[in-house]
Structure 1
Amino acid sequence: MDHPPRPARGLIRVPVTDAAELDASRVLTERLQQVDALLARYATIAQLRAKPTSELGDDDRRTSWLHLSHFIASCMSMATDNLAATKQLLLPDGEQLEHRVTAHFPLLRSALESASTALWLLRPEDQRERIVRLLQLRTTDIEYDLTLVKAAAKLADVNTAQGRSTSQAAIRGGVARRRRHSQQMAKIAEAEGISADEYIAGAPGHGMIVEQATDYPDLNGGYASTVWRLISGLTHPSPLRMLTTSEHGETVDNEDGTLYVVASMNLAHTTNALLAAMMTYRQATETLAARIIRVRARSEPT
């Protein structure tokens, strides 16, 4: 007796035919087509050089050689690259949407985290608070760097003289780098009247940074941080998150106690994640522009 063919398993390509999904596809496509203009705007701002009399210029003077602008540039470069990659992945020919299941969410999470970190660092009107946040971020960065160095050093073959020498040299280099950074951070903090307790614990987690950075009238910290939490569960294995964020087709009984169903990622989750990343990126760009252009306020004579 002939048996009916088994349904395909794994990842399969299926066309979008549902009217609601077609509308959602058009909305997502329109958002993706706006990415290039957003990146072009930042590219223009990134070419500007902050004068010493500007807010950013004075921030850099006070935080040399761990310049605040350098951390901003690193964050925005990462956000830029991830937004560009997201568009290339989902809209490879610039017109036809090819929606993935989860591959774009790590890109969008990185874009949102990076843009939020830049905005979190730029946002405070109080210069001292901007410097405190920089010191917190730099503390976390150098600690992660040393953790990586120590882990990598363990990969060396310590049974050989060369392996032991390589491992020890790497650790010495990492420790020396942390010492230089820590000493410079302490020097900056002392000059600004900042106690070590204000920054030595490092920066808050990404969820808190996203929420605090995007707590604007035209953004929404709760919205952005919720989006961040949702897509974080789609950047590593989470069957529950996959289940709750997917659209499901008709269920087929495999007659062996298991069920078969075609599931696709809900387009709205991608659109929301993209929108959160783009809005945060735009706000970071414009806040950076303001700090570059705005002349720092002079201290009143005492």
Structure 2
Amino acid sequence: MRVPITDAAELAASQELARRLHQVDRLTERYSTVAQLRAKPTSELGDDDRRTHWLQLSHYVSACMSMATDSLLATKQLLMPDGKQLEHRITSQFPLLRSTLESAATALWLLQPADQRDRIVRLLQLRTTDIDYNLRFVKAAVRLIDNTTREGRSAAQRGIRDATKRRRKHREQLATIAEANDITPDEYTDGAPGYERIVEEATDSPDLTGAHASTVWRMISGLTHPSPLRVTDTSKHGATIDNDDGTLYVLSSMGLGTTTVALLAAMMTYRQATELLGARILRVKRRP
């Protein structure tokens, strides 16, 4: 049920959260402006794309940032549906904030290395993980097909065959890119690290340390999946009612500070990814 905010500290926290939410549109508009820039062949990003042709680095960054943008805007819409009044939820904002943080951090992680070869290795790792996951997904999905009929078995086999062929072609493209850039298979064929490590490595800056960002990621992961302990630990507890049967009723609500911390981490990561993308687009590649 909806309850008004009366606690002075929570009221101040709600004002801070609302202030941050009002910044979301400006943040996403900035990314939209940067995304419309075209990387010249002589730019760092343009040269990255030339060296990763058919699986261009910029395409992966764009996919990540598109997802981050959508999730960030959806967070604002959820928490401020009329664009003015804050309506805080219990946990439904955290899957969106986790998506924003993971997506923006992945884009930042990919763009971040100063050495071009390291950027390409990370792209190959991410692409390997993506295509391997796709094959596992198809193998799981075809189990839903009725295999008691010849048509069903044929459809299932065709689905796996097509996905396997796609994976093989994808891996051949990865190998071609790797060979052209003097990258050995053992540098990328195991795939990318998990999101906790990506978030920590990508956000390791004075404004947002990797340790802080990865801790936020852990916190909101526990609020994305069922975790009574995490919900209890991050909630504000109000009046306790002692019942005659020995049970206690406690009025609790999600602490506004938890959402604010998660939103700030997501927004800062998104901003850093946006600005680094712009820098890679505009900066001229230095020839050795």
**TM-score, normalised via structure 2 length:** 0.99
- 5+ residue gaps, structure 1, are 1-11
Alignment match of 1:247 (pick from 225, 233, 236): 236
- Structure 2 equivalent of residue 284 of structure 1: 273
- Structure 1 equivalent of residue 250 of structure 2: 261
**In the TM superposition, what is the alpha-carbon distance from 1:121 to its structure 2 partner?**
0.2
- 5+ residue gaps, structure 2, are none
Corresponding position: 1:48 with 2:37: yes
Q: Distance in 1 between matches of 2:129 and 2:248?
A: 46
Q: Secondary structure at the match of 2:183?
A: coil
Paired residues for 1:83-98 under 5 Å:
83-98=72-87
- Indicate the structure (1 or 2) with the bigger Cα radius of gyration: 1
The root-mean-square deviation of aligned C-alpha atoms, in Å, is 0.8
**In the TM superposition, what is the alpha-carbon distance from 1:253 to its structure 2 partner?**
2.2
Q: Distance in 2 between matches of 1:217 and 1:17?
A: 35
Paired residues for 1:1-302 under 5 Å:
12-299=1-288
Q: Secondary structure at the match of 1:263?
A: strand
Number of residues paired by the alignment?
Answer: 288
Q: Distance in 1 between matches of 2:254 and 2:55?
A: 42
Q: Distance in 2 between matches of 1:254 and 1:49?
A: 66
**TM-score, normalised via structure 1 length:** 0.94
**In the TM superposition, what is the alpha-carbon distance from 1:254 to its structure 2 partner?**
2.9
Q: Hey, which bits of structure 1, 4+ residues long, moved more than 3 A?
A: none
- Residues 72-100 of structure 1: per-residue CA shift (max 9 Å, x gap): 00000000000000000001111110000
Q: Secondary structure at the match of 2:71?
A: helix
The amino acid across from 2:250 in the alignment is: V
Q: Distance in 2 between matches of 1:281 and 1:138?
A: 21
- Residues 43-87 of structure 1: per-residue CA shift (max 9 Å, x gap): 001111111111001101111111100100000000000000000
**In the TM superposition, what is the alpha-carbon distance from 1:281 to its structure 2 partner?**
0.3
- Structure 2 equivalent of residue 4 of structure 1: none
Q: Secondary structure at the match of 2:239?
A: coil
Q: Distance in 1 between matches of 2:91 and 2:110?
A: 29
The amino acid across from 1:214 in the alignment is: T
**In the TM superposition, what is the alpha-carbon distance from 1:259 to its structure 2 partner?**
1.7
